[in-house]
Structure 1
Amino acid sequence: MKPGDILNASATSTLCSKQGRYCMNFNQNTDFDNLTYLSIFAKGKDNWLVWIANRDQPVDMDSAVLSLNQSGALKIESKIGEPIILYASRQHSNNSSNIVATLLDTGNFVLKDIQKNIVLWQSFDHPTDSLLPGMKLGVNRKTGEKWSLVSSISDSSPASGTFRLEWEPTRKELVIKHREKVYWTSGKLLINNTFEYISGEDFEVNVVSNKEEEYFTYWPNEDGFTKWTLLQTGLLINSEGRDIARADLCNGFNTNGGCQKWNELCRNPGDMFDSKLVYVNENMVYDIANTNYGINDCEEICWSNCSCFGFRNFYGNGTGCLFLVSTEGLNIASSGYELFNILVKNTDPKVSNKRIWIYIGIGTLTPFVGLFIVLLAVRKRRHVLRERERMRMQIEDLEGSRQYSDGDDLEGDLSNGDDLKVFTYSSIIVATNGFSSENKLGQGGFGPVFKGILPSEQEVAVKKLSKTSGQGMTEFRNELTLICKLQHTNLVRLIGHCIHERERMLIYEYMPNKSLDFFLFDSNRRKMLDWNKRFSIIEGIAQGLLYLHKYSRLRIIHRDLKASNILLDENMNPKISDFGVARMFTKQETEANTNRIVGTYGYMSPEYAMEGVFSTKSDVYSFGVLLLEIISGKKNNSFYSEDRPINLVGHVWELWKEGAVLQLVDPLLNESFSEDEVLRSVHAGLLCVEENADDRPTMSNVIAMLTNKIKVDILPKKPAYYGGTRVFEEETYGEDVDVDSTYENSYSHVQNIDSSSEEITKLI
């Protein structure tokens, strides 16, 4: 590739090495809708995949291109997300014609200045899950960059997983870690240049140590294709499928073949998990619907928890965990329909003999067995619920101790390649002037937010978790692990985090114009929002939501979209923020249910506020309310009065029926607005706040309506929450509402939205 050349995904362009040993293109074989990865594969009968440029950030198949531009920048671009910069010169090149990108017959994709004979960038410096001959594992002492293999999260997703193969320079050995816990080591390097626990018959080892770098690499004894691959189970294999390292067999007890030992209190040597078809019901299981968890995370959590008897993945793509927390009534007959990894206890002969005498004793007590069974049946339900709760608490403790003991552990828990920085507490103190009141930007449900200036003079916003915050460690972790994987011009960018003792902080790009509500609901500042700015803000929010719902790697439901969670940059461009209560879905999921209702009343869809059911259509409802607020410059609750129990949504509905929609427009705009854009926006907004979730449009359709790409013939129906109520509207004035499940029954009775305020108030 020369400056000006592109590799086009839609045209299925392919770049091959000189002898055709390796080729590169945008791989179409993904489990996600129309998403693709720039991949290098070995040509042959199996077309081995050996490298992926954007494993954690898939791009749109119809628009993705790899380009080498005239300034020598190598990047991947598509219509979704920010450009992925593989290389960009720090200084503008006046003679970029000397820069070429070449796929070598070693499988290395190299960007080189051929005049100076300098390698500017190469794929070998950014390994994924496969190690090719000549590729390094180790550290660049000059830059601090580490070279390591990272497994995929599952068979169906190439995203960064939880196992890592590293070179340990001090002991000079290979190490496989699972979330920073050492599972396996190769043992010391022997005199014959092989390792203690790796057979060296098929390859030669090369170890280099100098002032500039420290690394391990290997070369095959025979010419031909070869590679090492780290699987999501922790198994390291070669290209022929032969085992190199069996970290998948390391369970904390055995030390065979390089396995490392650690203490587990409730398991015994010889205990193991065995795959079985079983029949279970919902009372026997506990789930963690976290897409950052792979199958080995599930195994480790179950192994470390005495209440766990088995596990399997929660999602069809191999992520998330479903745990078996009760075996009462468990059916492992051949008619079972769910494949679980069931814990099989070690059978000690001495224990077995004791059991024989126990069974004889029980046989003499047969008359009492029936009564005992009846008592068990009465207590069964109570026992299962206790076990599930104990499992939940132990899992939370385990996750907290494993992932938040210090900053280094948390950094290791995040996916490699997200460019997420770990800040020291002292650097944050200096940046925020000791969290001074002059630097305070505001206060939210999470805690206070402070402006900071880094040594590089970059301005940042530091969101500090309050010790009395209703949003705890779960929200902190949710936002940290989720938003770092999202890249879109209309989403706020997370720069890094800081953990110091019990302090938890998130560091974001600084938004000089604060949040949308700062302007929208102030009579003076609102004048700065002319119609063009407002319509641009509406479109930007819609594009951000569309990315979350459709184009991000997993479907994201924000669950708390409102004016205060829309930040504005220096050009008044909107950026969706605050992902603390967001939920991740796979592409196959459409909705979920929760007993913990979080968010802000006035923006909540009726099915979520009353029944805990949420989906992308819940966000669509919130967007509809926000859209109407932007047009009118008024809060949803601002129309409530004793003699006129109606909110903004109801007011808009009345104007629609009367054909007087233009009366909704903020008077401060002085009639300087596009009537056509206002009418289309109000029409879209009313469709978004339909009471029935299925009747609401998708964000794709909303954008098409706003941009006039489709003609909308569907007329809106009477919206949800047409009549304002004291319950919902008083809550809207306050901070975010975290509705505990104990109050759920009270809200579930509020079925008639047009009921009088007095009747609804009595329910509370």
Structure 2
Amino acid sequence: MGFGNISRVRTLLSSLPYFFLFLLPNCIAIDTISTGQSITDGETLVSSGNIFELGFFSPGNSTNRYVGIWYKKTSYTQVVGVLNAMKPILDSHGSLSINNEGNLVILDGKQNVIWYTNASSMWSNTSTVAILDDMGNFALRDNHLNVSLWDSFDHPSNTLIPNMKLGGNDKLGISLRLTSWVSENNPAPGKFFLRRNRQEAQQVYIVSGSAATIVNGSNLVKHWNSGQWNGRSFIGIPEMPQDYINGITFSSDGNGGEYYTYSLSDTSNISLAVLLSSGNIETKNWDEQKKEWVVFWLAINSQCDAYGACGPFGVCNKMESFICSCMRGFQPKFPEKWRNGNWSDGCERSTPLQCGSGSEGFLKLEGIKLPDVSEYLLRTDENECKVRCLNNCSCLAYSFVSGAGCLVWTTELIDVQQYSSGGQDLYLRLPSSLLGANTSDLVKARESFSSSVQDVEDPEIQFSHVKLGEDQELQLFDFDSVKMATNNFSFCNKIGEGGFGIVYKGDLSSGQAIAVKRLSRTSGQGITEFKNEIMLISKLQHRNLVKLVGVCIEGEEKLLLYEYLSNKSLDKFLFDPTQRAELDWTTRFKIIEGVACGLLYLHRDSRLRVIHRDLKTSNILLDEQMNPKISDFGMARIFGVKQDLANTNRVVGTYGYMAPEYGLEGIFSEKSDVFSFGICLLEIVSGAKNSSFCHDEEHLSFLGYAWKLWNTGKGMQLIDQTIVDSCDPLEAMRCIHIGLLCAQDYAVDRPTMSKVVYMLSTETTDLTPPKMPLYIRDNKDYINLSSHGSDVNSINECSITAIESR
């Protein structure tokens, strides 16, 4: 016979003797199970205050059954504890009871033991009861001794609720930690853990590892850390101020046990923290009006929050487009990896320390998430903290934190983040030469750079904002070093030519290969684009954008130095009869996704909202692994945060890739780039060049031909014959569909790049049909229409950052 909440009275009425027993006072409470009693699948226990509920549930899309605990108001939308997480019940006839030995036990429909507590009582088996209390703890108790034999709070799952403890007792081998689920469908222990580490300044970490490694603490991989505990909050969480209203308290039980406990100031609220199967932590509140959970904080909310994002001696700043930089006096350990967005190896010291020489001091870094693993703590004042670090040749940095004292680092500084607000002061040990460096050369360089472009009038461009010099965003090169790198601008080093001038391959003294764009003195265009490109691309850093290495201005010479990409531009492969075979479908799709991500960064994710205005296959460069990088920002324009459209009397770009509203009326927006991307996408799939395409039978334009094939169910005929047998037909057809959606005549009909990236990454979204192009005949019809709009200054197939001539 099972006993649950009051809603089960109807079931009890079917058995009169049991009904009379139910009426007896203190016999069976709805929050308690006694020896010989049970609840079955479909029945629940409810705590006395009607706050928590315990019962059987199936997580996510699973049909497996588990016994869990949840807030009664929320039902099992968020389970806070699972008893049989490692072994599910495979039928819907399970039961939870106290057996004859006084243990909690879960049985399936065939009476097989699924889970049990393995606790023992000194008294008779009938002395044990299991109670669900209003804090959410489910405890097996010995009534005679008035002690707990087993508590669910001692076996936390993936969720931390108020009054639960996180910590442990190293002497007794007790460790209370959160363990992620394998997935939302499987509550078995996953690979991520949230745990305290007493040895490392009382910080809390998200780590990954196996069950064995988490026990002995070895071979664990850190994914996030909270920063040091200062007595009131974790200083690595700037969202947690000193007067944190929902407070975390740290306590010691006097027997070697140390614990963090989370509490709410308003106990009527429902709030909890969950360690997700992805390795992140989210804290969320229950919205009673909407009947849903609302997430209000994520531990890893940006790339900078991930542990050691910029490696040793690197500093991460999520507000910067190029998020990683080296501390002063340090340089990237492997520059090539940094250029490709791989910062894990961090930085190394460029100027050695000379301990004991009296020529060292400290550089104050403000608003910092302090490095992980402070070597030791000194309870002293701030001045003594500085002196002790300076007198210790192993000391690399120190910080004095209110409530924590003196923190000293003697190993590499890792997991350092620059905050826009909050944070601590870190004092970095450096040679004196780097603390009071002569900046006259830097000032001269800035003045020269500014004067070289002061005659250019463009109200959009705030050129003085471009940073130059040491520890800045853009490196200045002298003309002689560039001349040497390009072998005196040798014809043999020439790799391209465009409207800007000639492009040369060069090799710096460091061994880095570069592409040098030299502004032609006789060029009718260039100075505006030169200035525009420097201002923009020095601020934009993304793995799918070409990287500007530096700039050289000397007299009439104006040069841009870029990373050299050995595979040059996409069009050299795509439209070459022999090389196009190197672009298999997997590579082409990777290029499509990369270009889409690069445009999304320009439109939405960069700190400057940028419209490229000249996207085409010749402006998509390829690195050694055929990863795409968008180039040529001479025509790009910056948009305001709330700006949607702009108009220009100087229409620049390349016909065939130019959106109708831009070519005819000079109106451009993010949707102009979307149109260009759609054309590029169709070219990548088909291997056909839109500007030279002509369908002999009907004189269809490239876009008109693509739409007609798609509309008549013959889209596969558009796919490049060199890949048609090996490509994924569904994926290729989806790309054609997306390309046609992007290249629709009216901007309002085109998707945003965020929508494009989503459509490329999922196969489940139904796509709307694209509208028929208004101009489906050959390109002459479109070009002739331009006479009705603004004056068009076409650069044809020339590109400022062309790696090879068009």
Normalising by structure 1, we get a TM-score of 0.51
User: Aligned partners of 2:417, 2:372: CA distance in 1, in Å?
Assistant: 24
Q: Which residue of the partner structure matches residue 288 of structure 1? A: 459
User: Aligned partners of 2:321, 2:439: CA distance in 1, in Å?
Assistant: 36
1:554 and 1:584 in contact (8 A); partners too: yes
Following TM superposition, by how much is the alpha carbon of 1:668 offset from its aligned partner in structure 2, in angstroms? 1.4
The one-letter code matched in structure 2 to 1:481 is M
1:446 and 1:465 in contact (8 A); partners too: yes
**Equivalence map 1:443-522=2 (5 Å):** 443-522=497-576
Following TM superposition, by how much is the alpha carbon of 1:666 offset from its aligned partner in structure 2, in angstroms? 0.6
**Equivalence map 1:526-537=2 (5 Å):** 526-537=580-591
Q: Which residue of the partner structure matches residue 716 of structure 1? A: 770
User: Aligned partners of 1:70, 1:478: CA distance in 2, in Å?
Assistant: 29
The one-letter code matched in structure 1 to 2:570 is L
Structure 2 residue matching 1:550: 3-state secondary structure: helix
Q: Which residue of the partner structure matches residue 495 of structure 2? A: 441
After superposition, the C-alpha distances for 1:156-183 in whole angstroms (9 at most, x for unaligned) are xxxxxxxxxxx9899xxxx9999769xx
Following TM superposition, by how much is the alpha carbon of 1:472 offset from its aligned partner in structure 2, in angstroms? 2.1
1:645 and 1:725 in contact (8 A); partners too: no
The 3 A distance-change label for structure 1 pair 709 and 699 is: farther
Q: Which residue of the partner structure matches residue 591 of structure 1? A: 645
Structure 1 residue matching 2:771: 3-state secondary structure: coil
**Equivalence map 1:209-608=2 (5 Å):** 288-290=459-461, 414=468, 417-608=471-662
1:76 and 1:83 in contact (8 A); partners too: yes
Q: Which residue of the partner structure matches residue 15 of structure 2? A: none
User: Aligned partners of 1:7, 1:688: CA distance in 2, in Å?
Assistant: 41
2:706 and 2:715 in contact (8 A); partners too: yes
Following TM superposition, by how much is the alpha carbon of 1:416 offset from its aligned partner in structure 2, in angstroms? 7.9
Q: Which residue of the partner structure matches residue 90 of structure 1? A: 348
The one-letter code matched in structure 2 to 1:65 is D
The one-letter code matched in structure 2 to 1:116 is S
Following TM superposition, by how much is the alpha carbon of 1:446 offset from its aligned partner in structure 2, in angstroms? 1.5
After superposition, the C-alpha distances for 1:140-169 in whole angstroms (9 at most, x for unaligned) are 6645x767xxxxxxxxxxxxxxxxxxx989
Following TM superposition, by how much is the alpha carbon of 1:466 offset from its aligned partner in structure 2, in angstroms? 1.4
User: Aligned partners of 1:134, 1:710: CA distance in 2, in Å?
Assistant: 49
User: Aligned partners of 2:205, 2:471: CA distance in 1, in Å?
Assistant: 24
Q: Which residue of the partner structure matches residue 757 of structure 1? A: none
The one-letter code matched in structure 1 to 2:575 is F
2:310 and 2:316 in contact (8 A); partners too: no
Following TM superposition, by how much is the alpha carbon of 1:583 offset from its aligned partner in structure 2, in angstroms? 0.7
For structure 2, list consecutive stretches of 5 or more residues without a partner in the other structure: 1-196, 208-222, 242-298, 328-345, 350-370, 398-411, 449-456, 793-806
CA RMSD across the alignment? 5.0
Larger CA Rg, structure 1 vs 2: 2
1:604 and 1:618 in contact (8 A); partners too: yes
2:612 and 2:673 in contact (8 A); partners too: yes
After superposition, the C-alpha distances for 1:188-226 in whole angstroms (9 at most, x for unaligned) are xxxxxxxxxxxxxxxxxxxxxxxxxxxxxxxxxxxxxxx
The 3 A distance-change label for structure 1 pair 78 and 681 is: farther
User: Aligned partners of 2:610, 2:310: CA distance in 1, in Å?
Assistant: 37
**Equivalence map 1:595-744=2 (5 Å):** 595-640=649-694, 644-708=698-762, 710-726=764-780
Structure 2 residue matching 1:584: 3-state secondary structure: strand
Match of 2:307 among 67, 71, 86: 67
Q: Which residue of the partner structure matches residue 316 of structure 2? A: 76
After superposition, the C-alpha distances for 1:709-729 in whole angstroms (9 at most, x for unaligned) are 551241100125422232757
After superposition, the C-alpha distances for 1:666-709 in whole angstroms (9 at most, x for unaligned) are 11125110011111101100000111101100111111111225
Q: How many residue pairs align between the two structures?
A: 455
The one-letter code matched in structure 2 to 1:667 is Q
User: Aligned partners of 1:85, 1:641: CA distance in 2, in Å?
Assistant: 52
The 3 A distance-change label for structure 1 pair 146 and 569 is: farther
For structure 1, list consecutive stretches of 5 or more residues without a partner in the other structure: 30-58, 148-166, 182-285, 295-410, 731-742, 751-764
After superposition, the C-alpha distances for 1:738-762 in whole angstroms (9 at most, x for unaligned) are xxxxx97644599xxxxxxxxxxxx
2:233 and 2:240 in contact (8 A); partners too: no
User: Aligned partners of 1:688, 1:422: CA distance in 2, in Å?
Assistant: 39
After superposition, the C-alpha distances for 1:321-350 in whole angstroms (9 at most, x for unaligned) are xxxxxxxxxxxxxxxxxxxxxxxxxxxxxx
User: Aligned partners of 1:60, 1:486: CA distance in 2, in Å?
Assistant: 23
Q: Which residue of the partner structure matches residue 118 of structure 1? A: 396
The one-letter code matched in structure 2 to 1:76 is C
Following TM superposition, by how much is the alpha carbon of 1:488 offset from its aligned partner in structure 2, in angstroms? 0.8
1:423 and 1:498 in contact (8 A); partners too: yes
**Equivalence map 1:138-157=2 (5 Å):** 142-143=433-434
Following TM superposition, by how much is the alpha carbon of 1:469 offset from its aligned partner in structure 2, in angstroms? 2.5
1:80 and 1:488 in contact (8 A); partners too: no
Following TM superposition, by how much is the alpha carbon of 1:590 offset from its aligned partner in structure 2, in angstroms? 1.1
User: Aligned partners of 1:703, 1:125: CA distance in 2, in Å?
Assistant: 29
User: Aligned partners of 1:127, 1:717: CA distance in 2, in Å?
Assistant: 47
2:499 and 2:523 in contact (8 A); partners too: yes
Following TM superposition, by how much is the alpha carbon of 1:419 offset from its aligned partner in structure 2, in angstroms? 3.6
Following TM superposition, by how much is the alpha carbon of 1:77 offset from its aligned partner in structure 2, in angstroms? 8.1
Following TM superposition, by how much is the alpha carbon of 1:115 offset from its aligned partner in structure 2, in angstroms? 9.0
User: Aligned partners of 1:482, 1:498: CA distance in 2, in Å?
Assistant: 16
Normalising by structure 2, we get a TM-score of 0.49
Structure 1 residue matching 2:559: 3-state secondary structure: strand
The one-letter code matched in structure 2 to 1:451 is K
The one-letter code matched in structure 2 to 1:664 is L
The one-letter code matched in structure 1 to 2:324 is I
Following TM superposition, by how much is the alpha carbon of 1:473 offset from its aligned partner in structure 2, in angstroms? 1.4
The 3 A distance-change label for structure 1 pair 584 and 21 is: same
Would you tell me which structure has more helix in proportion to its own residues? 1
2:775 and 2:781 in contact (8 A); partners too: no
The one-letter code matched in structure 2 to 1:653 is W
User: Aligned partners of 2:395, 2:627: CA distance in 1, in Å?
Assistant: 43
Structure 1 vs Structure 2: percent identity of aligned residues? 41
The one-letter code matched in structure 2 to 1:622 is S
Structure 2 residue matching 1:668: 3-state secondary structure: coil
Following TM superposition, by how much is the alpha carbon of 1:597 offset from its aligned partner in structure 2, in angstroms? 0.6
The one-letter code matched in structure 1 to 2:658 is M
Structure 1 residue matching 2:722: 3-state secondary structure: helix
Following TM superposition, by how much is the alpha carbon of 1:635 offset from its aligned partner in structure 2, in angstroms? 0.5
1:80 and 1:551 in contact (8 A); partners too: no
The 3 A distance-change label for structure 1 pair 24 and 5 is: closer
Structure 1 residue matching 2:730: 3-state secondary structure: helix
The 3 A distance-change label for structure 1 pair 571 and 125 is: closer
User: Aligned partners of 2:470, 2:660: CA distance in 1, in Å?
Assistant: 39
The 3 A distance-change label for structure 1 pair 561 and 117 is: same
1:6 and 1:65 in contact (8 A); partners too: no
1:445 and 1:471 in contact (8 A); partners too: yes
User: Aligned partners of 2:760, 2:645: CA distance in 1, in Å?
Assistant: 26
User: Aligned partners of 1:523, 1:127: CA distance in 2, in Å?
Assistant: 52
Q: Which residue of the partner structure matches residue 796 of structure 2? A: none
Structure 2 residue matching 1:619: 3-state secondary structure: helix
Following TM superposition, by how much is the alpha carbon of 1:662 offset from its aligned partner in structure 2, in angstroms? 0.5
